[in-house]
Amino acid sequence: MRRGWRVLAGWGAGLVVLAAVQIVFHPKAIELALLGGAGVIVIAVGALALEGERRRLPPAPVDEEEAQTVAWWSVPSLVLAFGIALFVLGWEVGAWLMGIGGGFAALGLGGLVREKRAERA
């Protein structure tokens, strides 16, 4: 277990406590919601991390640890970023650019899925 979730959950709980202090000062709803909501979100991310850690297999003994390989490059990552940027820019320029951007983004996402599958295989 990596136990990284404890950092997330603990820190999120800290934010909730700081948000709760506001109650003494009769806060506005938006102020309470922003900080309290942020705390709850971080706790939720911590819960997701805990679930992720539970699902992981226990690490192999150190000297028998499997060698890790490092991915070198990823064209789809660049294509995805380009697609997102064009899509957002399309809000200003026009729907046609949003279409092109969306297409690039879909292409990039598809490529990333393919890369991930190839890596697992």
Partner 1 sequence: MSVVDAPLRRPAPLLDALISVDHKSIARRMLGASLVFFLGGGVMALLMRTELAQPGLQVVSTESYNALFTMHGSTMIYLVITPLSLALGAYLVPLQVGSASIAGPRVALTGFWLFIFGGIVLEAGWLTVGGPGRATWIGVAPLSELQRTPGSGQDLWILGVLIATLGEWLIGMCILATALRKRAPGMTLMRMPPFTWTMIGTTLMMIFAFPVLVVLMGLLFYDRRHCCLFDGPQGPLSYQELFWFYGHPVVYVMFFPFVGAVAEVFSAFSGRRLFGYTFFVFSTALLFAALSSSVWGHHMFTTGRINARYFALMSHGIILAAGLEYFDLIGTLWRGSIRFTTALLFGVVFLLQFLVGGLSGVWVASPTLDFNASNSYVVVAHFHYTLFAGSVFGAFAAIFYWFPKWTGAFLREGLGKLQLAIMVVGTNMTFAPMFALGEDGMTRRIADYPRASGWGTLNLIATIGSYLIAAGVLVFLINLMVSLRHRRPAGPDPWEGPSLEWATSSPPPPHNFDALPPIRSFAPLMDLREGKA
Binding site for partner 1 (CB under 8 A): 2-8, 10-11, 14-15, 18-19, 21-22, 24-28, 30-31, 34-35, 37-38, 41-42, 45, 49, 52-53, 59, 62-63, 65, 67-78, 80-82, 84-85, 88-89, 91-92, 108, 112, 115
Whose tokens are 């934010």? That residue is 15
Minimum distance between the CB of residue 108 and partner 1, rounded to whole angstroms?
8
- Closer to partner 1 by Cβ: residue 37 or 103: 37
Minimum distance between the CB of residue 49 and partner 1, rounded to whole angstroms?
7
Tokens representing residue 114 in the block: 């393919």
Minimum distance between the CB of residue 57 and partner 1, rounded to whole angstroms?
14
Exposure b/e, 84-120, CB count within 10 A at least 16 = b: bebbeebeeeeeebbebbbebbebbeebbeebeeeee
Minimum distance between the CB of residue 37 and partner 1, rounded to whole angstroms?
8
- Closer to partner 1 by Cβ: residue 38 or 47: 38
Amino acid letter for position 5: W
Q: What is the C-alpha separation between 52 and 4, in angstroms, rounded?
A: 10
Q: How many CB atoms lie within 10 A of CB 52?
A: 12
